[in-house]
Amino acid sequence: MFTAKDYAMPQSVEEAYEILTARKTNYIVAGCAWLRMGSRRINTAVDLSEVGLDFINDTGDAIEMGAMTSYRSVETSSLLQENFSGILSRAVASIIGIQFRNVVTVGGSVYSRFGFSDFLTPLMVLDTSVHMYKDGVLPLEEFMKMPYTKDILVKVSVKKAPVIASYQMFRNAEADFPIVNLALSKTDGRFKVAVGARPGRAVLAPETAGYLTRALEDFRNQKDPKALDENAAQAGKILGDEVGFGSNMRAAAWYREKIAKVLLKRAIREVEGC
């Protein structure tokens, strides 16, 4: 369990940032589900509960999720269920249980960039930006490659688009971390593929996506179901070469790669409506 000498409940993001940066050992606390698993010694715990970041808003061209929005809100939001093929709501719905999802937050999850995240992989195949208080607005793909900095994640925004998407994951047991996960999206005929829980951070697979964009256009012209399976198998090969998989206590690299190919095939079938 973490310990904190002092506790602050700022009323604005500006005030929170001032307290956060006043000392190296001051930290943001959000849902605290992850923090409580460790033994971090915090000087001042900066609680964002009263800063007004618990929202899911439709801005017209995007949907925004405030940093203090819980996974349960993401799961049950009609806005998120009706947009992006509902993959964001469905992706978080499989994490542990409702009480847990009532607590954990969008900000704590996206800021932490966990490799096993069920939320980041689908966000990667959408047009997602991360709004940081100091660093400004960053595309998620860029944010995923950045080191941790002393900053506050304010909100995550996802641009609306005529997208068809699928999120697939594989777990050894229901309440465990996914051993590999994959998201696929198609916007105006162009595909995006992301693979997470490799077990490293989620990455995009542009070569696989490029192949699918070309090959599935041919498939749609022919409407031959065999061609879809052949294309999925070829895309799986490209994915295996393009994305690096690793081993840990949950699965070996070769097993993750095999499962990722199966998930890709399922995602293609879902997106193509077969």
Ligand X SMILES: Cc1cc2nc3c(=O)[nH]c(=O)nc-3n(C[C@H](O)[C@H](O)[C@H](O)COP(=O)(O)OP(=O)(O)OC[C@H]3O[C@@H](n4cnc5c(N)ncnc54)[C@H](O)[C@@H]3O)c2cc1C
**12: how many CB neighbours lie within 10 A of its CB?**
11
Minimum CB distance to ligand X smaller for 157 or for 231: 157
CB of 208 to ligand X, least distance (A): 23
Q: Give residues in contact with ligand X (CB under 6 A).
A: 27-35, 37, 48, 67, 95-96, 104-105, 107-109, 111-112, 114, 116-119, 152-153, 177
Which CB sits closer to ligand X, 186 or 198? 198
Residues 36, 34: Cα–Cα separation, whole Å: 5
Secondary structure of 201-257 in HEC code, one letter for each residue: CCEECHHHHHHHHHHHHHHHHHCCHHHHHHHHHHHHHHHHHHCCCCCCCCCCHHHHH
Nearer Cβ to ligand X, position 40 or 269?
Answer: 40
Least separation in angstroms between residue 204's CB and ligand X is 18
In the complex, the smallest distance separating the C-beta of residue 262 from ligand X, rounded to whole angstroms, is 19
Distance of CA 4 to the CA centre of its chain: 29
**Rounded least distance, CB 257 to ligand X, Å:** 20
Cβ proximity to ligand X, 96 vs 227, nearer residue: 96
Nearer to ligand X among residue 76 and residue 112 (C-beta): 112
Strand order in the sheet with 56-58: 56-58, 62-66, 153-159, 128-132, 136-139
